[in-house]
Chain A
Amino acid sequence: MSEAVLAQTQPARRRTIGFPVARLGWVGMASAVVIVLLALMAVFAPLIAPMDPNAIDLLHPFAPPTSQHLLGTDDTGRDIFSRLIIGSRTSLLGPLLVVLLEVLVGVPIALAAAWRGGFVDGLISRVLDVLFAFPGILLAILVISLFGAGLKSAVVALAIAHMPYLARITRGAALRERRMPYVEALEVQGFSAFRISARHLVPNLLPLIVAQASVSFGYVMIDLAGLSYLGLGVQPPTADWGVMISAGQQALLGGHPQQSLSAGAMIVIAVCAFTLFGERLIDQDR
């Protein structure tokens, strides 16, 4: 039997990535639409933003919302609406990088643990256990205290902190998949572990990985916004939603809540979209 014929004996691939629309439900659909809109907003941010997000106008600080400044201006007269749109770039890029790192490190680790079992599995599981013992944001603060504040440290630290969740769930699913008859059949045929993993296991696990990555994106966004708020992540004057909440807090206490509240709203919308989308994918994958 050739590999192609054997592949037909494996359970029908759950084509969640290809045709999710009908089964996602309206919540899942709405989340997907919001995610696409956010992505478009980040990509075309400079074209959408009506004004230069960093243009200071000291003569007009705390301007109220007008047709020119849709959300008013901040303490140095910068247009809040434009900063909100440009801010989508770092605010979405950070979690995206973290999740990519998580998948690139977590999935191979999980596959190795599931495939080799025994000592390798035991070692990997213990390392994951120790990482689990660190609350994400605390590990990030520890790393940042040593390597300095900034998006780079925050991204690496949060990837280390959030990777165990993805790895543990992927490992569990990979273990179940590994016991399927088609995997044994491929092994008997002499295909390498790497080839079976890459060509068969990963594609079958992909819906689960995408769903978990989406949920993780939401949680990472919360942590990253928290770090930026504390002054440990993205640094001002870069427009970023976490930074904007922090920068706007003084203004809020002075009665100008637009900056903090609008940045907060964007974070809630984005986190909602990513976590709900991921949860719906997980639900229907069951």
Chain B
Amino acid sequence: MARRLAALAATLLATSFIIYGAVYLAPGSPLTAVTGGRPLPPATLHAISHEYGFDKPFIVRYWDWLTGAIHGDFGRSVVFRQDVSSLITPRIGTTVFLIAYAALLILLIGVALGLVSALRKGHLDTAILTVTSVGTAVPAIVAAIVLIWIFTLQLGWLPALGSGSGLAGQLRHLTMPAIALALAGTAYVARLTRAAANEELRREHVATARSRGIPERYVVQRHVLRNALVPITTAAGLTIAGLIAGTVVVENAFALNGLGSFLVQAVGQKDVPVVQAICLILVTAFIVVNTVVDLLYAVIDPRIGFGGGDDR
């Protein structure tokens, strides 16, 4: 457990260093990177230089930025002349809602489809296998376009753009984005669940349980699902972590006011402090989710210790 957390801290430190230090790899001085090369009077340049601490050594600046970030202070936006945190905070909700919604869809529909596919051989299995094979290859943007075409333009059921307000409004506005974001992941988790369940169904303990006359429902619950849970958790965990990056594309496709669309906007405006802050938040979330999945194994399968020791 302690080893995992130490590894987590080390990875976070290394990635934050890359995110902050990358600016200094860019052509031109870091000051140009911050101002985006806009012509500014020398006094302003001097003030900015002082504000961002360019008169201090790099490692000191990095440390100031990192300790500030831990306390929720990401510096000031170059474009908006406001604290980055005050710009980001109102946008986090949409992103978290979207990712949680998509994660729920992946877990419920993905696992259910996979189990049905494994337990009902024949046409249904073939159909699910075909659909999920193609489904993993559908990028979120393509899913977004097709969904908008069907549900907004053909059926007129759901709005194509905007985040909506209130829980009902958010649900209405975020349903299509969540489906677009979850589609490939759902198909992937379904395929893995099917494979894992099939693997267990071939095992002797399942045959033994069946021969003892244990009702099929319990056989599936206790013998198949319980044992297949480790590979399913791996697949679902990695997929859900992947949603954190996928949200950038999906938020733009549906004009949602979240972190991802703000990131792309900030890249366009060369607003480096905002880019660094959002990258740090998203990468941290990605690493933390991955670590939580790692730790979950030990809960699901008592044979796996918290220490790990293996190289994944």
Which of chain B's residues has its CB closest to A271's CB? Answer: B137
Q: For chain B residues 232-290, which have a beta carbon within 8 Å of chain A?
A: 241-242, 244-246, 248-249, 252-253, 263-264, 266-268, 270, 272, 275, 279, 282-283, 286-287, 290
Asked if A229 contacts B268 (CB within 8 A), the reply is no
Asked if A255 contacts B153 (CB within 8 A), the reply is yes
Asked if B267 contacts A218 (CB within 8 A), the reply is no
Asked if A142 contacts B19 (CB within 8 A), the reply is yes
Asked if A137 contacts B139 (CB within 8 A), the reply is no
Query: Chain A residues with Cβ under 8 A from B148's Cβ?
Result: 249, 252-253
Nearest CB of chain A from residue B157's CB, rounded to whole Å: 15
Most buried by B among A129, A222, A260: A222
Asked if A135 contacts B286 (CB within 8 A), the reply is yes
Query: Does residue A164 face the partner (Cβ distance < 8 Å to B)?
Result: no
Asked if A264 contacts B268 (CB within 8 A), the reply is no
Query: Chain B residues with Cβ under 8 A from A137's Cβ?
Result: 245-246, 248-249
Query: Chain A residues with Cβ under 8 A from B106's Cβ?
Result: none
| Partner of B267 from A125, A145, A271 at Cβ < 8 Å | A145
Which of chain B's residues has its CB closest to A129's CB? Answer: B11
Asked if B282 contacts A135 (CB within 8 A), the reply is yes
Asked if A133 contacts B287 (CB within 8 A), the reply is yes
Asked if A218 contacts B264 (CB within 8 A), the reply is no
Write out, one digit per residue, whether chain B residues 99-138 have a CB within 8 A of any chain A CB (1) or not (0). Answer: 0000000000000000000000000000000000110111
Write out, one digit per residue, whether chain A residues 256-272 have a CB within 8 A of any chain B CB (1) or not (0). Answer: 01001100110110011
Task: Compute how far the CA of A21 lies from the CA of B48 in the bound complex, rounded to whole angstroms.
Answer: 64
Asked if B264 contacts A141 (CB within 8 A), the reply is yes
Which of chain B's residues has its CB closest to A218's CB? Answer: B137
Query: Does residue B66 face the partner (Cβ distance < 8 Å to A)?
Result: no
Query: Does residue B227 face the partner (Cβ distance < 8 Å to A)?
Result: no
Query: Does residue B5 face the partner (Cβ distance < 8 Å to A)?
Result: no
Query: Does residue B229 face the partner (Cβ distance < 8 Å to A)?
Result: no
Nearest CB of chain B from residue A137's CB, rounded to whole Å: 5
Query: Chain A residues with Cβ under 8 A from B304's Cβ?
Result: none
Task: Compute how far the CA of A231 lies from the CA of B263 in the bound complex, rounded to whole angstroms.
Answer: 13
Instruction: Given A141-B264, A145-B275, A253-B148, answer yes or no on A275-B139 (Cβ-Cβ < 8 Å).
Output: no
Asked if A230 contacts B252 (CB within 8 A), the reply is yes
Instruction: Given A130-B14, A232-B267, A253-B148, answer yes or no on A135-B153 (Cβ-Cβ < 8 Å).
Output: no
Q: How many residues of B contact A (CB 8 A)?
A: 51
Asked if A229 contacts B249 (CB within 8 A), the reply is yes
Task: Compute how far the CA of A146 lies from the CA of B246 in the bound complex, rounded to whole angstroms.
Answer: 21
Write out, one digit per residue, whether chain A residues 52-82 have a CB within 8 A of any chain B CB (1) or not (0). Answer: 0000000000000000000000000000000
Asked if B283 contacts A141 (CB within 8 A), the reply is no
Query: Chain A residues with Cβ under 8 A from B263's Cβ?
Result: 141
| Partner of A229 from B133, B137, B244, B253 at Cβ < 8 Å | B253
| Partner of A135 from B244, B267, B311 at Cβ < 8 Å | B244
Task: Compute how far the CA of A144 lies from the CA of B264 in the bound complex, rounded to whole angstroms.
Answer: 10
Q: For chain A residues 117-137, which have a beta carbon within 8 Å of chain B?
A: 125, 129-130, 133-137
Asked if B283 contacts A275 (CB within 8 A), the reply is no
Which of chain B's residues has its CB closest to A276's CB? Answer: B133
Asked if A136 contacts B245 (CB within 8 A), the reply is yes
Which of chain B's residues has its CB closest to A265's CB? Answer: B142
Asked if B275 contacts A142 (CB within 8 A), the reply is yes
Query: Does residue B27 face the partner (Cβ distance < 8 Å to A)?
Result: yes
Nearest CB of chain A from residue B180's CB, rounded to whole Å: 12
Which of chain A's residues has its CB closest to B17's CB? Answer: A130
Nearest CB of chain B from residue A164's CB, rounded to whole Å: 12
> 8 smallest A-B Cβ distances: which pairs?
A135-B245, A264-B142, A146-B26, A271-B137, A272-B137, A222-B139, A145-B267, A226-B249
Q: Provide a sorted-by-A list of 23 A–B residue pairs whose CB atoms are within 8 angstroms.
A: A133-B14, A133-B290, A134-B286, A135-B245, A135-B282, A137-B246, A137-B248, A138-B279, A142-B275, A145-B267, A145-B275, A146-B26, A218-B137, A226-B248, A230-B252, A231-B268, A242-B141, A245-B142, A252-B153, A255-B153, A264-B141, A268-B138, A276-B137
Task: Name A residues whose Cβ lies closer than 8 Å to a Cβ of B.
Answer: 125, 129-130, 133-138, 141-147, 149, 218, 222, 225-226, 229-232, 242, 245-246, 248-249, 252-253, 255, 257, 260-261, 264-265, 267-268, 271-272, 275-276
Task: Name B residues whose Cβ lies closer than 8 Å to a Cβ of A.
Answer: 11, 14-15, 18-19, 22-23, 25-27, 33, 133-134, 136-142, 145-146, 148-149, 152-153, 160, 241-242, 244-246, 248-249, 252-253, 263-264, 266-268, 270, 272, 275, 279, 282-283, 286-287, 290, 311
